[in-house]
Structure 1
Amino acid sequence: MPHIPPFAKADLGAEVIQFSPTSSSSGVKITNVRPVASYSWIEAPIPTIAVPGSPNIWTDERIRRVPADSGFYIINQNSYRMGPNASPLAPLFAAVDELGEYDYASLDVVTDRNNLRQLLRWIAGTVDPEGFRIDIESSGKTCILTRRLEKNSEVIREFRGFGHEYEKAATTPAPGCENATGHHRIISMNIADLKVLQRFEVDACAVTSVREDWPQSISGIQIYRTTSPRLVPQSSLIELMTRASHKLLNWSEVYPQLYLSQTPHLYLAKHRKGVFMDVEKIPIDGEEMEPYMREVEQRIGKLRDVLVHILKAVREDIGTLFSLVCENGRLALCRREKESGMSVGKDILQKFSVKQDEE
């Protein structure tokens, strides 16, 4: 039976509680979605982001052939760019603070979309056999979830499809973001009564216009301020996917990804042995998507329930470091040794215990 990789058990202390998905839950919609900030990673010797930056722009040109994906590939931009000794969440807070004051103290959870997707897989019983780990630190009433991976980059040597190369061919950098290597967006949203600040990567957008303005440095991250518009409209966001024409899309996996970030458009590029056909443009709120929407809303209800249990356990011991560890479908909250992991730091943690207007 597969076991979780050794890195996922490093620095762990006593188990606090084991979780089980609720047997039934009423469906829950994601509501009150509000764009908060965004940024694009810029290739540079030190961590550098453009704020608010922009995703690449969809060109709407017919792409016939692209090479197969190969060579060096970054799996997790934020961890890779920030290095082993800094929090991958640091650029999230740098981007939010750059665009204005924000009431962090009102939040229940700060997280990457990937963490919520992992929990939804666990709820559905489809979690990867190797499991996952999510580190947790807390301040005020807020739990801050950090995505943990065994590796943040890899070299692709065998055939993995055409997704990365197709994205490069079908999009073009926005003005002012010519050296960007990836774009991230931060939204606030409600999962029932829980307020969540969520970060996710964006593949492309329909239209945008930005220009580079001035550089400065915040929290060890160099920031290039871009203007006009402040943020790319949520309605213009696009998720790009490629598939062989004979393979069906696994909507039970794909739809939760789109729904969590409220990405309105999926552009599906199908190919026959590497020759691409016309792109299928699928709105996530289309009539044919309703069965998948109902399914994911049932799982979102169970996600809300497990988040409540996690919050309750962590809030009983505010300031203690924890990790969520899933192994062979078993999800448990464990204490974590002090000084382990990659803390966001005291300056950021203080934002959650004091309202911005009281600082």
Structure 2
Amino acid sequence: MSFNASFSGNSRGGFAPRRGRGGWGRPLAKPREPVKPDIESHPLGQLLQTVHNSDLLDMPSNSSHNVTITDCQYVASYNWLNNSNPTVVVPGKPARWTPLQYPQKLKEDSGQYFRDLNAAKYPDFPMAPVAHAVLASDDFRPANVNLFACGSTLGNLLRFVRGMDKAFRFNVEAIGDTVFFIRKENDPKELIKDVRGFGHTFPEAYTTWEQEVKGSETHQRIVQYVFGNLKCMVRFECDGYIKDDPIGRLASSTLATSNNTSNSTSDEEDLLKSLQDTAISRPLKTTTSECEALTIKRGGSEIPQCSIFDLKTRSSRAKWGINMDDIYPLLWVKQIPNFIAAYHDGFGIFNDIRVQDVREDVQKWEKDNMKAIRRLSILLEKIIDIAKEDARGLLEVYFAGAGGLEIRSQHGEGMHALPSELMEKWADNEATRGVSDSDASDDTDQKFYDFESDDDWKAHSDEEEPDYTACSAEDCGYCGKCTY
């Protein structure tokens, strides 16, 4: 068996359905039933409006006929650490692509995995870490953002306007000039059932958390772009980044790159930086009656958007390959330029690994799906307008999997996207700052940052959730339903 780890500048035609030998090995796994919103345990609020796909063609919009994503820029990022208390590292760093020289047999996935790691880690306010990371940037002003969403919520809406029948729901809140879309599962700590395949063990073997972000569970990124007339900010999970550039394609990337060039720093310099940075932490000043304190550590380094990748694994014996018609929309929402497809033999040996620049493919998908994309633009404008006009500004979007998309008031008192302190800072356009190192006490083992007064800390610090699985469903996380 030969090992093929290829890199090409264009992937069209490279992901045709794979036909394997039948009659041997384990039987193919049947796809699982998708999890549906539990409206009995979590009742729906008052119905405000129902939107059908066909209605969107007749709704007015300020957008031009061709609606595209432009001016994509990296804004901030953070890593969740595997700590007992909720802890993030800002700006963090994605796992580095470190492929094995020779294929090795990997163990099959085992263990328990959350559907939404952000909610599982910080169930009261899953959007709080991303707001802290964004507000830490001196260049950011919330008044310029119309929509703050994650890859999962936008992916669900994109599937709806494309006529797909997957049920979903998410919360909506207007804070200042920004409308937040907040992912909502049946339970914040809901687990993925029937995990199988190699969607976890493959990235564990082929990517590495570098020294300054050791102990990380996930890297969450926030990008900003213009979509139609909307200035959007989108959080998503990043599977990893490519440090080396074998054919020079990163240097000419049209996507935004960071001014930070630390991705070319030597391992020794990374280690020194980690010793300097990762010991700096303090619990944020969140109200204890609202939620558990969130610990923010400064560490890692900014990685340009053109270096990151999305990853899927699949059996080479399956009767289907990786359906790129499901992948391209998610890459488009996240503006991820690279895709890694890893095929295994059914027993844990990966002999076919393809690392590809898919920007041209994503642009072609955008052009070919302009009608659906235009409907998405109109739908977003509709939801935003209703949220801003609502007295409470607390809504939810619900789609049962058939019929129309329902825009409702949140049931009961509702749930806010952010704790009150962060809401005020966002609405008032007040960027957070902290205390410089020189102001910290010298007789303590840790140096603390006060996010309200530090002019020296200007760190440009997520479906979305773990996405290493073979599954192509954005909000499914590690489900492994398509592995075999």
Q: Residues 34-113 of structure 1: matches in 2 within 5 Å?
A: 34-61=73-100, 62-83=102-123, 86-100=124-138, 102-113=140-151
Distance 1:155 1:13, change over 3 A: closer
Note the C-alpha offset of 1:35: 0.9
- Cα pair distance change 1:150/1:257, threshold 3 Å: same
**Corresponding residue for 1:117?**
155
Residues of 1 paired with 2:193 and 2:161: CA distance? 33
**Selected match of 2:240 from 199, 204, 221:** 204
With the length of structure 2 as denominator, give the TM-score of the two structures.
Answer: 0.67
Shift of residue 257 of structure 1? Answer: 0.9
Q: 1:217 aligns with which of 283, 289, 296?
A: 283
Confirm or deny: 8 A CA contact 1:140 1:318 kept in the other structure: no
Aligned residues: 350
Q: Secondary structure at the match of 1:323?
A: strand
Aligned to 1:137: 173
Separation of aligned partners in 2, 1:325 and 1:187: 26
> In 2, Cα distance between the equivalents of 1:233 and 1:3?
35
Of 304, 313, 328, the residue aligned with 1:255 is: 328
Identity, in percent, stands at: 26
Cα displacement (A) at 1:351: 3.6
Give me the CA root mean square deviation.
2.5
Per-residue deviation at 1:45? 1.9
Range with greater deviation from structure 2 (235-244 or 145-154): 145-154
* 8 Å CA contact retained: 2:328, 2:365: yes
Distance in 1, Cα, partners of 2:308 & 2:116: 20
- Give the Cα separation in 2 of the matches to 1:96 and 1:154: 27
Counterpart secondary structure, 1:114 = helix
Q: TM-score, normalised by structure 1?
A: 0.89
Of the candidates 233, 251, 254, which is equivalent to residue 304 of structure 2?
233
Query: Who is 1:328 aligned against?
Result: 401
Q: 1:155–1:111: structure 2 CA closer, same or farther, 3 Å change rule?
A: closer
2:69 is aligned with what amino acid?
I
Higher strand share: 1
Give the SS at the match of 1:241: strand
Structure 1 residue 312: Cα displacement? 1.5
Consecutive unaligned residues in structure 1, runs of 5 or more: none
Aligned residue number for residue 183 of structure 1? 219
Q: CA distance change for structure 1 residues 142 and 156 in 2, over 3 Å: closer, same or farther?
A: closer
Pair 1:20 & 2:52 matched:
yes
Distance 1:261 1:3, change over 3 A: closer
Which 5+ residue runs of structure 2 have no aligned equivalent?
1-33, 59-63, 244-262, 264-269, 287-292, 432-451, 453-484
| 1:122–1:345 distance in 2 versus 1, CA, 3 Å | same
- The answer to whether structure 1 residue 244 and structure 2 residue 315 are counterparts is yes
**Cα distance in structure 1, aligned partners of 2:391 and 2:421:** 17
- Aligned AA for 2:397? L
Change (3 A) 1:239 1:316: same
The answer on 1:10 being equivalent to 2:84 is no
SS at match of 1:341: coil
Shift of 1:154: 5.8
Q: Secondary structure at the match of 2:45?
A: strand
**Stretch deviating more after TM superposition (277-286 or 177-186):** 277-286
- Work out the CA distance in 2 between the residues paired with 1:44 and 1:104: 30
Aligned-pair CA distance for 1:217: 2.2
CA distance in 1: counterparts of 2:195 and 2:425, whole angstroms: 45
Matched-pair contact (CA < 8 Å) for 1:118–1:132: yes
Give, as a single letter, the amino acid of the residue that structure 2 aligns with 1:51.
V
From the superposition, tell whether residues 90 and 63 of structure 1 become closer, same or farther in structure 2 (CA, over 3 Å). Answer: farther
Q: Deviations over 1:229-271 (max 9, x none)?
A: 3x11111101111012242222221111111111111010012
Alpha-carbon distance between aligned partners in 1 of 2:425 and 2:40, rounded to the nearest angstrom: 28
Q: Aligned partners of 1:153 and 1:133: how far apart in 2?
A: 16
C-alpha spacing 1:296/1:263, structure 2 compared with 1 (3 Å): farther
The alpha-carbon deviation at position 155 of structure 1 amounts to: 6.0
1:313 maps to what in 2?
A: 386
> In structure 2, what residue type is equivalent to 1:5?
P
1:165-193 CA-partner distances (Å, limit 9, x unpaired): 11111111112111101110011111111
Shift in alpha-carbon separation, 1:237–1:224, aligned structure 2, 3 A:
same
CA distance in 2, matches of 1:153, 1:270: 30
Q: Which amino acid aligns with 1:236?
A: S
Tell me the distance in 1 between the aligned counterparts of 2:419 and 2:85. 19
User: Could you tell me how far apart the structure 1 residues matched to 2:371 and 2:422 are?
Assistant: 34
User: 178-187 vs 268-277, which deviates more?
Assistant: 268-277
2:91 corresponds to which letter in structure 1? Answer: P
2:356 pairs with 1:285: no
Larger Rg: 2
- 1-side partners of 2:108 and 2:162: how far apart? 32
Aligned to 2:24: none
Kept in 1: contact 2:332–2:362 (CA 8 A): no
Distance 1:298 1:157, change over 3 A: closer
What is the CA deviation profile of residues 56-78 of structure 1, one whole-angstrom value per residue up to 9, with x for unaligned ones? 11003243421222221122111
Report the CA distance between 1:108 and its aligned residue.
0.9
Amino acid at match of 1:93: A
Paired AA for residue 18 in structure 1: T
Deviates more, 1:155-164 or 1:266-275: 155-164
